[in-house]
């Protein structure tokens, strides 16, 4: 045994160092063997069902594609409904509703005096408030649709298109009348014919001026309009 302060060798029973006087600190006896079971590794956590991973969300579609609206025709006035029925009976066909134009569409064919096949698209809408600009926009939109849905040989090869763009009003709007009395825009082998049907009187109004272009076809187109649409 040695002094922990100065390192002098001491007797086994010494209480103080005989050299420096420091108290002797007896070495501690080695710890006895303890029960090994006390030192066996124990899991800190037990696996329980409450700690099992559970998905917080199930994969389900949040949204289903649904159309925002369905194309439905606007309510018809009795006078307009009767007029539409008469045109339908005369053409022997049911009209197709065109939601983007809010109008009813008919289609038929005829041969002109020059033996050209004329594909005729008839668009009929009801709008008492339609004025010059509204009538112009409507007629142009109808013409574009006729050109887009046309099928067949290139226009001009013994074929042509006529778009009868009819606006039904209880009383003809003076501003809209100013538009339909003008000569329509020119198109390649296609004729645009805006018209107003005054439901209160049965008058069919359209431009009666003679154009320089397509003069040979215009008279036949107007006669056919009277036959189909003044009913």
Block means of pLDDT (10 residues each) for the chain, 231 residues, are 76 73 66 50 47 46 39 79 97 96 94 71 97 97 93 66 96 97 82 96 93 75 93 84
Look at residue 68 in the predicted model and tell me its pLDDT: 36
What confidence score (pLDDT) does residue 73 get? Answer: 63
* CA distances in angstroms from 81 to 11, 78, 110, 126, 129, listed in the order given: 131, 5, 26, 10, 18
Contacts of residue 102, Cβ cutoff 8 Å, sequence gap at least 6: 73, 74, 125, 127
pLDDT of residue 100: 95
Query: What pLDDT does residue 53 have?
Result: 42
The predicted-structure confidence for 151-207, as pLDDT tens digits, reads as follows: 876 655 567 889 999 999 999 999 999 999 998 887 777 899 999 999 999 999 999
Global pTM? 0.65
How far apart CA 68 and CA 98 sit, in angstroms, is: 17
CB burial readout 91-114, b (16+ within 10 A) else e: beeebeebeebebbbbebeeebee
Number of Cβ within 10 Å of residue 118's Cβ equals 21
């Amino acid at each position: 045994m040695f002094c922990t302060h100065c390192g002098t060798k001491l007797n086994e029973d010494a209480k103080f160092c005989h050299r420096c006087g420091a108290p002797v600190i007896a070495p501690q006896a080695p710890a006895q063997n303890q029960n090994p079971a006390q030192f066996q590794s124990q899991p800190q956590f037990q696996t329980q069902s409450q700690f099992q991973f559970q998905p917080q969300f199930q994969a389900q579609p949040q949204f289903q594609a649904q159309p925002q609206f369905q194309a439905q025709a606007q309510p018809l006035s009795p006078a307009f409904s009767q007029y539409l029925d008469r045109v339908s009976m005369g053409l022997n066909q049911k009209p197709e509703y065109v939601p983007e134009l809010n109008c009813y569409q008919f289609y038929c064919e005829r041969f002109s005096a020059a033996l050209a096949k004329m594909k005729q698209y008839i668009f009929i809408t009801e709008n008492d408030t339609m004025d010059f600009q509204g009538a112009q926009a409507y007629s142009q939109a109808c013409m574009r649709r006729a050109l887009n849905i046309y099928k067949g040989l290139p226009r001009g090869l013994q074929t042509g298109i006529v778009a009868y763009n009819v606006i039904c009003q209880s009383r003809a709007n003076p501003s809209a009348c100013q538009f339909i009395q003008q000569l329509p825009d020119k198109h390649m082998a296609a004729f645009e014919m805006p018209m107003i049907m005054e439901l209160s009187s049965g008058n069919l109004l359209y431009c009666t001026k003679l154009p320089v272009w397509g003069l040979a076809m215009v008279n036949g187109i107007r006669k056919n309009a009277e036959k189909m649409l003044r009913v």
